[in-house]
Amino acid sequence: MLCGRITENYVRAYIAFTEAVWRKENPPPPVKASFDLDYPSMGWVLDVIAAITRTGFSLVDHFTLPDEA
């Protein structure tokens, strides 16, 4: 995801990051169990976008890697 923000001094600041998110409503049980153990707070793309907005950043763009990646 690429986010932007204008600082107090009117300087544009950008941050780019990756985040694991759920892509399927009902993932296979072994996959769900693994992420529940290792990353229980993993959410959906809309959750991440909401967090970006809450922190004062504006989403510039986002994309999902293809399955082959």
Q: What percentage of the chain exceeds 90 in pLDDT?
A: 48
Contacts of 21 (CB under 8 A, 6+ apart): 42, 43, 44, 45, 47, 48
Q: Which pTM value belongs to this model?
A: 0.74
Q: What proportion of the chain, given as a percentage, has pLDDT over 70? A: 88
Q: Which tokens in the block code for residue 27? A: 């993932």
Tokens of 63: 């994309």
pLDDT higher than 80, residue 13 = no
pLDDT tier for residue 55 given thresholds of 50, 70 and 90:
confident
